[in-house]
A and B are shown apart, each in its own frame.
Chain A
Amino acid sequence: MVDDILTMSGITKTFPGVKALEDVSLSVRRGEIHAICGENGAGKSTLMKVLSGVYPHGSYEGEIRFDGEPCRFAGIRDSEARGIVIIHQELALCPQLSIAENIFLGNEQAKRGVVDWNRTNHEAGRLLERVGLPANPVTPIADLGVGKQQLVEIAKALSKRVRLLILDEPTAALNDEDSAHLLDLIRGLRDEGITSVIISHKLNEVLAVADTISILRDGRMIETLDPSTGGVTEERIISGMVGRDLEHRYPPREPEIGSEVLRIEDWTVHSPSQPDRPVVSGANLRLRRGEIVGLAGLMGAGRTELAMSVFGRSYGTGASGRLYKDGKAIEARSVGAAIRHGLAYATEDRKRYGLNLIQNIKLNVASAGLSRLARLGWVHDHREYQVAEEYRTSMNIKAPDVLAVTGKLSGGNQQKVVLAKWIFTDPDVLILDEPTRGIDVGAKYEIYSIINRLAAEGKAILLISSELPELLGMCDRIYTMAAGRITGEVDRADATQERLMHHMTMDLTTNGANGADTANPSDTANPVDTITKEQAG
């Protein structure tokens, strides 16, 4: 008889316009380490958020049973009360507080409302011993490295009498030594009877630690593998993750590739918070007119950081390297200069970095190319209206008119506004960062058609995407990145998902000291947060 600590059955979770999970079922045996694999956007994190109550009962369909009892969590507190603790990829610790204060945050060791510091620090010290972190409990979190912070998170989970520990990309930000220690710790917890669910892109680690591997793709549970039966290899997992069916989801296109328009040489960028840590190292890329070039990589590989630092140094510090536009060396030290040199960057996070959501379509479309509508500082507002109206029509932006506020548009239409804004600057090179993220299938096709049209006009497109089928369906050439380095360049004819995934995961361990030092997720998740400091002038 199989003893399942957790069964999730028939879970369906819908966001406006997107089905994030469709009829997903998952069973986790008591005392195992269960890995969940899948591409970015496959639904892994969504599934875990459903489980932990971040998405409360009622916002999804399906049933969750924990220890055989049905669960209806209204929030994280409910799931934690049952012993389900999730540790997110972006660590949720307060950097100014001590280790002990963080461990017992929200669960203070207090008598009649007064914190008992002796007990707090003593208990914290015992928990730190359990996770193998020899540190003083009163040390501020900010003084710890990412690996040690991860251990503090686990100690915090242990303090809540965790029974099912969920770790979302726990080793993404860790070096090899810290990763190994963390995996040992998880094995040790298993021996103490704590069940773990691990979400990870690092397939070698998954194979090393997991008792069961479940694979999600496009919001569906594809299969569950048992590594102990043999025959389960990284290639086997990858083929499950990427699937094999490539339908006609991409509009046809006859590429007409011209001369080189942008060359990036030896590009290196450092993290804004840790100026001695490279996020992108020695990257070389070149783009030609009429060409759609893909940039593949897993989360934290440095794709957005590379693109934004090239685009007027809008990310990072200590950027070095050379840019050649049409064969001539250029400097683009500000966003304005980058725009003048014919570069455009459409962000991956349109709501935070791409649009002024409280303003209308017209002002957003004109915002990057305003100088084209102005003379001596005066905006020709009728022309502005006309331009915006032209884009609304030609790009099929669904809104009554261009005075509609962009915050109310659907994701696909917002994305079209972002594209229109950059197309209006008449760039030679368009960097499109996840242009179809969170968009439904119909709008995706429209976006693809627009991209093809731009390439046909002779513009060079750099398409950053986490969806490998999208890259394979759209691109003439694909670069892969891992740990801040370009790890491969594959022509359309030779490209397969397996091959790309191989390049995207390959050198996390083989590329020496720099390569192993992957990006800190708190930097990579929001690269623009620092721009107000670095670049706003």
Chain B
Amino acid sequence: MSDTATSANTAAAKSAAAGPRRPAPSPRLSFNLRQSGIYVAFALIVVLFSVLTGGDLLQPQNISNIIVQNSYILILAIGMILIIISGHIDLSVGSVVGVTGAIAAVLMVNHDIPWALALVLTLVAGAAIGAWQGYWTAYFGIPSFIVTLAGMLLFRALTLTVLGNQGIGPFPDSVRTLSNGFTGGYLGNVALGPLGGADLFSLLAAAASIAALAVTQWRTRQARRGYGQTVDPLPVFIGKIVAAGALIMAVTVQLARFHNLPWVLVLLAALVLGYSLLTGRTVFGRHIYAVGGNLQSAVLSGVKAKSVVFWLFVNMGVLSALAGVIFAGRLNQAGPTAGNAFELDAIAAAFIGGAAVQGGVGKVVGAITGGLIMAVINNGMSLIGAPSERVMLVKGLVLLAAVAFDIWTKRRSGAPLLR
């Protein structure tokens, strides 16, 4: 494997020598900087607020709060990053969260429909809303900014209509458990020395996912080597797995000491895994990047661009409905203002998480990290008693800085800024 690396290097050196106008090939370094800068920034922000809060940030209950309080934004961010990668935007998700929460409330509370069936019906309603916006955007050709700006008003109006201008609640226990609840202590507690008791089931779940991560990564590495690709050297590879495992375990231990795993965390983990596979490993995922990277080229390569955009909006609608149910369940009430300004948080999460302004670039994990950065800033600043105007100020500057960084790295790398 080191052989292939050296030969690639010498080949690169040769070509650099042969063609003087081509700069020495260091594109991957800057690209990686662009992709990994976000994780570095997240780590620094966590460290900063841990210090500022005297360690309160990482207390078991606080970690749990950060996750539960931001779960719906993170779910929206997953859908939003896909939309942004394809070169579009969705300003209506906050209103869709409102209207779907309202629909769920009417079904579950007013009509006593079993919660699971009501949830499915609500997700279908979300899909229908997404299909509406997808039709106007993809097939009719109205810019998504306009379509979803209209949607923002339409679905807020619909929210008020469905609710009759008043809140509806309370929600069934199952829904509240999904939003606010935790996995049961199925296997009892174990003692972790000075850390006290912790839920064994949570710890085993974390250990199992770490093991699964390690095995799949190892198999991918082996397969890549088999196909002659360059891979990380073994120590680096092990280092990365250990670091990821330690992070997962540390978070889980803290959660296990508090109240076990929040159900929304389990749901989020499944969504992140699923959507990462969708974007990274499927034909549909490739098409999303192709449409956003160069629409004309994608169309001329046989990609059904309109269909791709349409289904992304349908997907956004479904995820908004899911977020809507979770948010309503968390408040135990569907209210007329539910979801206000959520679209801004979701869009900010996607852009902080490395989405490119012109589309074509971005990762699901990046959007989640972007959402967590905002969550930690929110939480950390409120812990140190900062007034809300200062929180807004910082969040605004972070968003601006993140996009400025994106454009700066792109300009530095010489890639075209305009399509």
Interface residues of chain A, those whose CB is within 8 Å of chain B, are 16-17, 311-312, 314, 334-336, 338-339, 345, 347, 351-359, 363, 366-368, 370-371, 374, 377-379, 381-383, 385-386, 389, 398-401, 403-405, 407-410, 421, 528-529, 531-533, 535-537
Contacts and interface: CB of A to CB of B under 8 A. Distances in A.
B415 A336 contact: no
A471 B286 CA distance: 36
Contact of B307 (A381, A382, A537): A537
Contacts of B304: 334, 336, 536-537
B283 A536 contact: no
Nearest to B415: A407
B141 interface: yes
B27 interface: yes
Contacts of B28: 400, 403-404
A525 to B, nearest CB: 14
Given A367-B298, A401-B8, A408-B27, A356 B415 contact: no
A533 B302 CA distance: 15
Contacts of B360: 356, 358-359
B413 interface: yes
A398 B299 contact: no
A536 B305 contact: yes
B414 interface: yes
Interface of B: 8-9, 11-12, 15, 18-19, 21-23, 25, 27-28, 31, 138-139, 141, 223-224, 226-230, 280-286, 289-290, 293-307, 356, 360-361, 413-416, 419
Chain A interface SS verdict (over half): mixed
B301 A400 contact: no
B214 to A, nearest CB: 19
Given A17-B21, A357-B294, A379-B282, A535 B299 contact: yes
Contacts of B8: 400-401
A449 B45 CA distance: 55
A518 B187 CA distance: 81
Contact of B21 (A16, A366, A403, A533): A16
B19 A381 contact: no
A358 B306 CA distance: 21
Contacts, number: 158
Contacts of B31: 405
A508 B293 CA distance: 40
B227 A382 contact: yes
Contacts of B302: 312, 334-336, 338-339, 368
A61 to B, nearest CB: 17
Given A359-B293, A398-B19, A532 B305 contact: yes
A343 B139 CA distance: 26
A312 B302 CA distance: 9
A315 B15 CA distance: 38
B297 A353 contact: yes
A386 B286 contact: no
A374 to B, nearest CB: 5
A358 B293 contact: yes
Contacts of B139: 537
The 4 tightest CB contacts between A and B, nearest first, are A356-B293, A537-B306, A398-B15, A368-B301
B294 A408 contact: no
Contacts of A410: 19, 21-22
A357 B293 contact: yes
A408 B224 CA distance: 25
Given A379-B281, A385-B227, A404 B300 contact: no
Contact of A532 (B12, B289, B299, B301): B299
Contacts of A355: 294, 297
A533 B304 CA distance: 12
